[in-house]
Amino acid sequence: MRLDKLLANMGLGSRKDVKKLLKKGGVAVNGETVSDGKSHVDPENEEVTVYGEQIEYKEFIYIMMNKPQGVLSATEDATDQTVIDLLEPEDMIYDPFPVGRLDKDTIGLMLLTNDGKLAHQLTSPKKKVTKLYVATIDQPLTDEKISQLESGVTLDDGYETKPATVEVIDGGDGVKIRLGITEGKFHQVKRMFEAVGRKVKFLKRETIGELRLDEELEPGTYRELTDEELMMLRGE
Ligand code: URA
């Protein structure tokens, strides 16, 4: 790729800033100063340094965030804070975007990446990737309602949901439910509970496929995926 593009992508400023940096002789490829931004480099195999500091090049970024309440799963918004606003500049430069949506008041696992292919694989209805949610609802479910949710319910717009898994996880009052779905319709979990006469008071996503939220992450914080997590997500 072009050297100036690589430097700009790695957050060393605009194309104009990068041109100045090159002109000043601050950039070297394999130890040789290079001042022509048009020259080509192979970032995987050649060593690029800026004032002697090696530039770590990577094409893709994969971030696990514990999305907090009150933040939108969007890339930008005129009024509300978005998950992208929570990123450090050094991560933002990769232009990641949220994979799928969580409502403003939902917390939990949010994946952010700039890898469009993986994002498509995880969100395509054909791939049937299971997502687990923990919902606190207003009243316990009867066995009949559990069976209805498991086999599929009719949403307010007439859509018939695909089979789901239901687990009552709070033995005491029966209002904490783990629901597993393979679809991602708008407000799906809330509307599924509404279809059986229940209201969701609190919602958290725990998993996307094999990827599980790291419970060490406080809401609003994030980290990059480990190689192992990435391989699991890719089904490798
Ligand atoms: N279903 C919902 O209703 N809300 C979410 O945020 C995610 C799934």
| Pairwise pLDDT comparison (224 vs 234), residue with the higher score | 224
Task: State whether the beta carbon of 189 lies less than 6 angstroms from ligand 1.
Answer: yes
Shared-domain flag, residues 194 and 222 = no
How far apart CA 236 and CA 155 sit, in angstroms, is 35
How far apart CA 19 and CA 26 sit, in angstroms, is 10
Shared-domain flag, residues 73 and 174 = no
Shared-domain flag, residues 35 and 82 = no
Shared-domain flag, residues 72 and 28 = no
pLDDT value of position 139: 95
- The CATH number covering residue 100 comes to 3.30.70.580
Counting runs of H as helices and runs of E as strands, what totals does the chain give? Answer: 7, 13
Tell me which residue range forms the domain holding 221: 62-124+211-234
Task: State whether the beta carbon of 210 lies less than 6 angstroms from ligand 1.
Answer: no
Q: If we measure between CA atoms, which residue out of 97, 95, 60 comes closest to residue 82?
A: 97
Shared-domain flag, residues 142 and 93 = no
Average pLDDT over all residues of the chain = 94
Closest protein CA for atom 4 of ligand 1: 187
> What total number of domains does the chain contain?
3
- Beta bridge partners, 72, equal 82
Shared-domain flag, residues 36 and 93 = no
The Å distance, Cα 190 to ligand 1 centre, comes to 6
Task: State whether the beta carbon of 102 lies less than 6 angstroms from ligand 1.
Answer: yes
pLDDT value of position 57: 83
Give the number of other Cβ atoms within 10 Å of residue 152's Cβ: 15
Confidence band (pLDDT; 50, 70, 90) for 172?
low
Question: Cα dihedral angle (231, 60, 215, 139), rounded to 10 degrees?
Answer: -90
Shared-domain flag, residues 119 and 216 = yes
> Under a CB-based contact definition with an 8 Å cutoff, are residues 98 and 74 in contact?
yes
Rounded to an integer, the average pLDDT of 123-142 is 95
Shared-domain flag, residues 138 and 186 = yes
Residue 230: CA atoms inside 13 Å, Cβ hemisphere, count? 13
What's the whole-model pTM score?
0.86
Residue 171 has pLDDT above 80, yes or no: no
- The CATH number covering residue 16 comes to 3.10.290.10
Give the position of tokens 């990577």. Answer: 58
Give the model confidence (pLDDT) of 61-80 as tens digits: 999 999 999 999 999 999 99
Q: If we measure between CA atoms, which residue out of 78, 121, 110, 107 comes closest to residue 222?
A: 110
Shared-domain flag, residues 135 and 200 = yes
pLDDT value of position 4: 93
Shared-domain flag, residues 201 and 216 = no
Task: State whether the beta carbon of 203 lies less than 6 angstroms from ligand 1.
Answer: yes
Give the model confidence (pLDDT) of 174-210 as tens digits: 899 999 999 999 999 999 999 999 999 999 999 999 9
Give the model confidence (pLDDT) of 71-104 as tens digits: 999 999 999 999 999 999 889 988 999 999 999 9
Shared-domain flag, residues 200 and 146 = yes
- The CATH number covering residue 141 comes to 3.30.70.1560
Shared-domain flag, residues 106 and 135 = no
Closest protein CA for atom 3 of ligand 1: 187
- Give the CA angle between residues 103, 108, 113 to the nearest 5°: 85
